[in-house]
Structure 1
Amino acid sequence: MARRRANGEGTITRRKDGRYQAAAYVYRPDGTRTRKFVYGKTRAEVAGKLTEIQEKTRQGIPAATSSMAFEDYLAYWLTTVAAGRLKPSTFTSYEVMARLYITPALGRKKLNRLSPADIRGFLTAFKDGCLCCLRGLDAARPREKRRCCAAGRCCRRSPSARTVQYAHAVMRAALQHAVREELIGRNVARLVETPAVAREEVKPLDRTEARILLKTARSHRLHALWLLLVSTGLRRGEVLALTWGDIDLDKRQLRVRRNLQRIRKDLVFGTPKTAR
């Protein structure tokens, strides 16, 4: 005879459609508790999902629910998912984008009430607005301006097309995880067309310009840095992270094994952008 699950261990039942469902009490981001359901094709699959959410509850980590505010879900996703998967620089840029622009505009919407029209409207307003007006602006009062703008000191600097595309990418990634956790049935951000980005052709220094640069910098203490940048095409962070252990003077070889980036006020070593 199967052992009955004790109080607090959660329940697993089979639905009429043949799938299994499990339920357990979890923490909300505000510290209160609610009952959360997970689903799967087999009992073992559901038991694994149940164990996962219960482990988070034991650690005091809040679990996401479909009816939570989008700002709470973004905070949950950034803390429990993105922080462990993204590079520090990428995570920081995601967090800043969510905190300064996405949350003030869409944060009060319920996760399961977000629509393609909400995403499209935000991207349109974001593209056509100025950065100082958009930062911290409540979407419920779209024509309200910050004091700097009302006083005539508006920066009038609109987000670039790449920044708008980046905001879309952050929402798309967050909502895709919500789909995987079966909190929502579809990723509404994926239903909205990604803003186009006009690619500007890079014009590198020609041979004469490169020679003038290196000749001018010959007496500078960072001459070796400029020489490396011009002759190898390495990224700035890759050059700044080099140590003597990366250079073999006998074989005339240089290995790129990490990069150096400024994350807020700290200098952080990370892995190169690509394997090559």
Structure 2
Amino acid sequence: MAKKRANGEGNIRKRKDGRWEGRYTAGYDPATGKRIIKNVLGKTQAEVKEKLAVAMDDVKDLDVARSDNYTVGSWLTNWYTLYAKPNVRVSTAEYYRRSIELHVNPRIGGIKLNKLTAHRL
């Protein structure tokens, strides 16, 4: 009999194509209240278990449901420090930081995320 994972740990299963899939709740849609489900794939169960843990930690850091609390500038700063800077080369991270500070923040950095439209861009 398979082991049961605790609440909040996501689930892991083997797909028909031989790969392993981990699924987790990324948040809840504020309009409908339904869960937003995302997945990670890997060749082995251990690989998926690691990816799943990392993905769930990332989701805890940024709450997409609170988009009315974030401005474009604050969200990009969080994105840069949590995702971009640790995962890209130093020169790329510096390019992103410069772009955010020199181009994005002066123009649209003060706009709330839920008010951002294509027309404003």
TM range (shorter): 0.5 to 0.7
The one-letter amino acid of 1:52's match is V
Call closer, same or farther: CA 1:37–1:100 in 2, change over 3 Å: farther
CA distance in 2, matches of 1:17, 1:98: 43
Q: Name the aligned partner's letter for residue 48 of structure 2.
A: V
User: What's 1:6 paired with?
Assistant: 6
Distance 2:81 2:20 in 1: 29
Cα gap change, 1:16 to 1:100, in 2 (>3 Å): farther
Is the alpha carbon distance of 1:38 and 1:108 closer, same or farther for their aligned partners in structure 2, counting shifts above 3 Å?
farther
Q: Is the partner of 1:78 in helix, strand or coil?
A: helix
Aligned counterpart in structure 2 of residue 94 of structure 1, from 94, 99, 104: 99
Matches within 5 A, 1:117-128: none
Q: For this pair of structures, how many residues does the alignment match?
A: 99
Q: Does the 8 A contact of 1:11 with 1:23 survive in 2?
A: yes
**Unmatched 5+ residue regions in structure 2?**
65-71
Deviation at 1:99, TM superposition (A): 3.7
Write out per-residue CA displacement over residues 84-106 of structure 1, whole angstroms, 9 at most, x where no aligned residue.
Answer: 454785453131234456989xx
CA contact (8 A) 2:10 2:25 kept: yes
Whether the 8 Å contact between 1:22 and 1:50 is mirrored in structure 2 is yes
The runs of 5 or more residues in structure 1 that have no matched partner are: 65-70, 110-136, 140-276
DSSP-derived class of the 1:79 partner = helix
Equivalent residues of 2:22, 2:52 under 8 A apart:
yes
SS at match of 1:48: helix
Find out whether 1:41 has 2:23 as its counterpart: no
Q: Aligned partners of 2:51, 2:108: CA distance in 1, in Å?
A: 30
- Does 2:81 align with 1:138? no
CA distance 1:22–1:81, change in 2 (3 Å): same
Q: Which amino acid aligns with 2:99?
A: Y
User: Residues 186-211 of structure 1, C-alpha deviation per residue, up to 9 Å, x if partnerless?
Assistant: xxxxxxxxxxxxxxxxxxxxxxxxxx
Identity %: 30
- Alignment correspondent of 1:258: none
- Name the structure, 1 or 2, with higher relative contact order (CA <8 Å, separation 6+): 2
The alpha-carbon distance between structure 1 residues 15 and 100, as it changes in their structure 2 partners (threshold 3 A), is farther
Aligned to 1:113: none
Instruction: Go from structure 1 to structure 2 and tell me whether the alpha carbon gap of 1:138 and 1:55 turns closer, same or farther (over 3 Å shift).
Output: closer
* Partner SS, residue 61 of structure 2: coil
Name the aligned partner's letter for residue 4 of structure 2. R
Deviations 1:78-134 (A, max 9, x none): 231223454785453131234456989xx757xxxxxxxxxxxxxxxxxxxxxxxxx
Does 2:61 correspond to 1:61?
yes
C-alpha distance in structure 2 between counterparts of 1:62 and 1:14, whole Å? 29
CA root-mean-square deviation:
4.0
CA distance 1:108–1:42, change in 2 (3 Å): farther
Alpha carbons 1:56, 1:63 under 8 Å: kept:
no
Distance in 2 between residues matched to 1:108 and 1:102, nearest whole Å: 11
Tell me the amino acid that sits aligned with residue 18 of structure 1: G
Within 2, Cα distance between the matches of 1:27 and 1:12?
18
Q: Residue 47 of structure 1 aligns to a residue in which SS?
A: helix
Classify 1:22/1:95 alpha carbon distance in 2 versus 1 (closer, same or farther; 3 Å): same
